[in-house]
Amino acid sequence: MIRALLLSTLVAGALSCGVPTYPPQLSRVVGGEDARPNSWPWQVSLQYSSSGQWRHTCGGSLIEQNWVLTAAHCISSSRTYRVVVGRQSLSTVESGSLTIAVSKSVIHEKWNSNQLAQGNDIALLKLASSVPLTDKIQLGCLPPAGTILPNNYVCYVTGWGRLQSNGALPDILQQGKLLVVDYATCSQPSWWGSTVKTNMICAGGDGVTSSCNGDSGGPLNCQAANGQWQVHGIVSFGSSLGCNYYRKPSVFTRVSNYNDWISSVRTGHAVSPRALPGPGPMRAMPTYVLRIPSLLLRARKCRLGQSPQGSPWALTVSV
C-alpha cells in the first residue's frame, strides 16, 4: 500500500505543470540545437489541412488538457486545424504522441491583423477531446499575473521554425537560448523603438539566435526559482531583414499580461469574440514599414523560426 502511494506521488510530481519528466539539456551551443526528446512536453505543432495533407504552420503550448495557447496571427477562419502533442520529429509517428482536432478558436477581441505592433497577438484553441497526461505530454505553466522578467533573464524558445532566413524547416524540435531585453532597452530608437509595447517581451537581438518562420505561436520558456518552467511569451514577430537582426530581438506576446483573459476564455466568461481574422489562402498580408536612425546592423544565421505560411509576423524596417 505504501509502495503504491509512493508511486502515485512520484507520478503526480512528474506530471505537474512545467516540470518535464525528461529535463531539457541546456548546453551553451551558440544558435539553436535539437531539443532532447520530450523535454518540452507542452510544446505542440499546430497544423492545417491542405489538399489532403496536414502541414505544420505554428507552435503552441498545452496549458490545460483541452486548451492550447498560441498566437492570434496563426489562426485563419478558412482553415481546419489539428494539434500534435508529444512529438519530437514531425515526420515520424512516435510512440506516445497524439493528434487531436481543434474544435474552437478564440482570439483576443483587441487583436487587429492590420496593427500587429499594437499587440494582443494571443489565441486559445479548444481541443475536441482532452489530452491524457503522460511522461511525454504535460502542461505548461502560466507565470503569475503581471510578472516582468528582468533584463538578461535566460529563457529558451522552442519550435520547428526555419533554421535560417528563407532556409529549410527542421524535422526535429529545436531549442534556442535567448536573453530577455527589458522594455527600457527594447523601446529605444536603435532597437525596436515605439513598435514594442509593455504587453510584449523582447528576447535575443544578439545576431545569433532568434525565432523565425514556423515558430510563431510557440512558447518562450523561462525557469522560475523553484525549477518550474513557465510559458512567459508567445512568438509574435521579428524583423523582415532576417530571422535575427542585430538589435532586432524576437518579440513575444507577454503571457502575464493576459492571465485574466485566458481564465475567462477557459471558464466561458470571455467577451464574445468577433469573426476570426487571419490570412485566407489567397489574401495578401499588410507590410509594416518602420523608420529608425541609421546604425550598424549585422545579420547573421539564426537557428529557429516562425510561420512559413506568410502570416504577418515580420516587420519591414527601413534604415
For the whole model, what pTM was predicted? 0.80
Tell me what pLDDT residue 75 has. Answer: 97
Work out the pLDDT band at 243, boundaries 50, 70, 90. low
Catalytic site residue from 45, 165, 187, 216: 216
Q: Which structural domain, as residue segments, surrounds residue 161?
A: 33-267
Does some domain include residue 54?
yes
State mean pLDDT over 198-214.
Answer: 73
Catalytic site residue from 39, 56, 73, 105: 73
Distance in angstroms (rounded) separating the CA atoms of residues 8 and 29: 37
Tell me what pLDDT residue 163 has. Answer: 55
Q: Is the pLDDT of residue 3 over 80?
A: no
Does some domain include residue 301?
no
Q: Is 121 a catalytic residue?
A: yes
Side chain identity at residue 220, one-letter code: L
Does some domain include residue 256?
yes
State mean pLDDT over 275-296.
Answer: 31
Q: Domain of 231: which CATH number? A: 2.40.10.10
Q: Is the pLDDT of residue 119 over 50?
A: yes
Work out the pLDDT band at 187, boundaries 50, 70, 90. very high
- For 17, the grid coordinates are 505543470
Which of 23, 273, 266 is CA-nearest to residue 130?
A: 266
Query: What proportion of the chain, given as a percentage, has pLDDT over 70?
Result: 71
Tell me what pLDDT residue 9 has. Answer: 40
Tell me what pLDDT residue 257 has. Answer: 98
Paired strand residues for 220: 157, 233
Does some domain include residue 71?
yes
Does some domain include residue 1?
no
Does some domain include residue 277?
no
**Residue-averaged pLDDT of the chain:** 80
Does some domain include residue 234?
yes
Task: Write the pLDDT tens digit of every residue in 123-167.
Answer: 999 999 999 999 999 999 999 999 999 999 999 999 998 655 555
Which of 92, 120, 117, 140 is CA-nearest to residue 274?
A: 120
Which of 167, 157, 203 is CA-nearest to residue 301?
A: 167
Q: Is 73 a catalytic residue?
A: yes
Q: Is the pLDDT of residue 180 over 70?
A: yes
Does some domain include residue 290?
no
State mean pLDDT over 30-37.
Answer: 82
- The count of structural domains within the chain is 1
